[in-house]
Amino acid sequence: MAQEVAREEQLSFLLRTVRFESINMEKQRDLDEMLQLTFTYAEKAGLDFEPLGTKDFLERLAFACCNRWGLVIEMLIEALSHGQLNGDQVCTKDHFEHAYAQIYSAPPGYSPFSLRNYRDGFDHARMMELLSRTETSASAT
């Protein structure tokens, strides 16, 4: 995408490239940022995020999003939208399992949010490959 924008001189002039560092849940700063991000988005959606506000859940969220901030935001929007549409008041891991299935075209119930040893069951390289396939097929339609 960045290459296509760079080819268009007027667009390139208007936009500036922003690169985010990968999420590192060992850093207190990133943990705090994840907490703020999740609670802020949930509040905007009218959902209570308190039950999921644990380090374990936030680590699963970061892992499910390949430690990328943009993917975390996409997953939050998908999960919280699902909760809103269901008329829920409290955010649950089911919302995130649904979001994971939607984003990665994965079978329901198979996600880093549902497996005990999720780090052993998922490979970030493979997950990114699935994402690029999903994005390619979505842009083709």
The DSSP result for 84-140, as a single string, is: HHTT-SB--HHHHHHHHHHHHTPPTT-STTT-TTHHHH--HHHHHHHHHHHHHHHHH
Report the pLDDT value the prediction gives residue 64, as an integer from 0 to 100. 96
In a domain, 4, yes or no: no
Where does the pLDDT of residue 20 fall: very low under 50, low under 70, confident under 90, or very high at 90 and above?
low
Report the pLDDT value the prediction gives residue 12, as an integer from 0 to 100. 65
SS3 16: coil
Query: Average pLDDT, whole number, for the chain?
Result: 87
Give pLDDT tens digits for 33-48.
999 999 999 999 999 9
- Report the domain count for the chain: 1
In a domain, 2, yes or no: no
In a domain, 85, yes or no: yes
In a domain, 38, yes or no: yes
The parent domain of residue 67 ranges over 22-140
